[in-house]
Amino acid sequence: MSTAATSLDLEKRFPGVTPRDSADCPAFNVPTADIVRVLTALRDDFGYDMLVDIAGIDWGESASPRFAVAYHVLSTEKAAYVRLVAPCSGDAEPSIPSVAGVYPAADWHEREAYDMFGIRFEGHPDLRRILMWEGYPYHPLRKDFPLAGIETDLPDDEVAGETGVRVKPAPMAGGPFVAPQAGHMTSREPRARDESWNEKSEKPAD
């Protein structure tokens, strides 16, 4: 880890870049505006030719900047990874420059992060939802989105009109063995959070 990190002089070339705690590969915090330049430098000057992953992160409703994007790039020659994490500007409507022009692989990964977190990638050629349907009103991987889901309309108006079916939240608040991330030990035990509604009995009207 240390040898690879020293050969990467990203901090010197980009004053805003700082090293980031990491258990495995070299990792850096990158300012929002620099992400395209840093990734271009990694690709052209350091041989990190493959973008393997882009992950959106929601640091919680109270955090600011609330959203961040983590990039993992791989050098196919050296088989070494580098992780970059860039915060998104704007907490209500997060946005960050798109890197689809640097790595074509970013196209779908950024669409996914947009779909799941609502992060707008400025300059993306075709920013549409990818896993959820077009017109879905929420961003499911945000921390304020409940595990069970939120009641909403079916994507197809025709089917919805014909059948009257709506997208319903999952029973038992998302599953029989839900373990929350924080709280007292007694409440962290994996168990159903809301058993008033299950497959056999209808959801009680609020």
Partner 1 sequence: MSTEYTFPDNAARSAAAADAPEFETEKLTINMGPSHPSTHGVLRLLLELDGETVTRCDPVIGYLHRGDEKIAENMTYNQFVPYTDRLDYLSPLANNVAYAIAVERLAHLEVPPRCQAIRALICEMARISSHLLGLGVYAMDTGAMTVFLYTFTEREKLYTLFEELTGARFTTSYTRIGGLARDIPEGWLGRVARFCDGVLPVVDEIDALLTRNRIFLDRTEGIGVISKEDAIAWGLTGPNLRASGVPLDLRKDKPYCGYENYEFDVPVGTKGDCYDRYLVRLEEIRQSVRIIRQIIANMPDGPWYAEDAKKIFAPPTDKILTSMEELIQNFMLVTEGPQMPAGEVYFEAENPKGALGFYIISRGGGVPYRLKIRAPSFCSLSILPKVAVGCMVADLSAILGSLDFVMGECDR
Q: Where do contacts with partner 1 occur on this chain (CB under 8 A)?
A: 21-25, 27, 49-53, 55, 57-58, 70, 72, 76, 79, 81, 83, 103-105, 107-108, 112, 116, 129-133, 140-141, 145, 147, 174-175, 177-182, 185, 188-190
Q: Which is nearer to partner 1, 23 or 205 (CB)?
A: 23
> Do residues 38 and 85 make contact, with C-beta atoms less than 8 angstroms apart?
no
* Residue from 76, 32, 26, 34 nearest 51 by CA: 76
Residue 37 or 129 with smaller CB distance to partner 1: 129
Contact between 191 and 177 under an 8 Å Cβ cutoff? The reply is yes
In this structure, are residues 10 and 84 in contact, taking their beta carbons and an 8 Å threshold? no
Residue 57 contacts by C-beta under 8 Å, 6 or more apart in sequence?
67, 68, 69, 70, 85, 117
Q: How many residues in the chain? A: 206
Nearer to partner 1 by C-beta: 33 or 44? 44
To partner 1, the closest distance from the beta carbon of 141 in angstroms equals: 6
Residue number with CB closer to partner 1 (33 or 131): 131
Question: Residue 45 has which token pair?
Answer: 């000057």
For tokens 């029989």, the residue is 176
Residue of 30, 33, 202 lying closest to 123 (CA atoms): 33
Which is closer to partner 1, CB of 114 or CB of 202? 114
Q: In angstroms, give the least distance from the CB of 129 to partner 1.
A: 8
Residue 168 dihedral angles phi and psi, to the nearest 5°: -105, 150
The H or E element spanning position 50 is: strand 50-58
